[in-house]
Amino acid sequence: MRLSGKKAVVTGGGSGIGKAIAEALVREGCQVAIGGRDLVKLESVKKTLNSINSDFGDYHGHIAHVVDVGELKSVERFIRFAKEEFGPIDILVNAAGVNTKTRTLADITPEQWDEVMRINAYGPYYTMQAVLAEMRARKDGLIINISSTSGKRASMLGGIAYCASKFAATATVTAAALEEGKNGIRVTSIFPGEVDTPLLDKRPAPVSAERKATMLKPEDVAEAVVFVACLPPRAHVAELVMKPTVQEYS
């Protein structure tokens, strides 16, 4: 319970990495608000979170709310809901992300490009903006953005739109960290390589069970988030790259 009493918001919390992060934070004592686009999945995850541990004194349960992180008003409603239920937010984790099966410049449509950029690049900006004022006022706060090694090294695997969106997010989060360190706010980018999540369904070709077996698991990324979150305020992890042992990174 190293994070007992902390209030956390996790986007993309209905499945995959976001779900694993929410569960890991709950196990460390956080009260968690999850957001995503599928209410049925969110409610299922919320039940799981509430079953993990509910012995937090004034604990009133974890919460879920539909949010489209690429829409400013939707993000504002989600964060406002979380603040009304919890009070000030201590930890924000941006785990929402999308990709498209169409991944080359020659084939991707403007609509597909816009959707990937909207979620992956605009989303972190909108959510950080929504919690910034209160974190500044307290001189304390932690923001973690789950990016991708495609945000460090452009690749055919990620595709042109995904790489562009993740590079944009990398720059946004890095700049935010430089700006807000003096205000007591730590901002971190985590760059996972291949992870076995539902996003694999957006690969142009099916991924074999053998390939999936070599990948990171969502709980691996969740453990990295917990590591960063449990460090003392004096310690800032600006970037953390993690990849499957067999995956090249160059």
pLDDT at site 248? 83
Residue 247 domain-assigned (yes or no)? no
CA distances 51 to 47, 65, 173, 182, 239, Å, are 6, 18, 33, 38, 32
Taking the model in full, what pTM does it have?
Answer: 0.95
Residues taking part in catalysis: 162
Residue 248 domain-assigned (yes or no)? no
The range of the structural domain enclosing residue 187 comes to 7-242
- Give every residue of the chain whose pLDDT is below 70, as ranges: 53-60, 250
Burial class (CB in 10 A: 0-12, 13-18, 19+), 56: middle
pLDDT in tens, 123-138: 999 999 999 999 999 9
Residue 250 domain-assigned (yes or no)? no
Residue 175 domain-assigned (yes or no)? yes
Q: Which residues contact 43 (CB under 8 A, 6 or more apart)?
A: 64
pLDDT at site 59? 52
Residue 1 domain-assigned (yes or no)? no
pLDDT at site 249? 75
Q: What is the CATH number of the domain that holds 163?
A: 3.40.50.720
Considering its fold, how many domains does the chain have in total? 1
pLDDT at site 61? 82
Residue 249 domain-assigned (yes or no)? no
pLDDT at site 57? 43
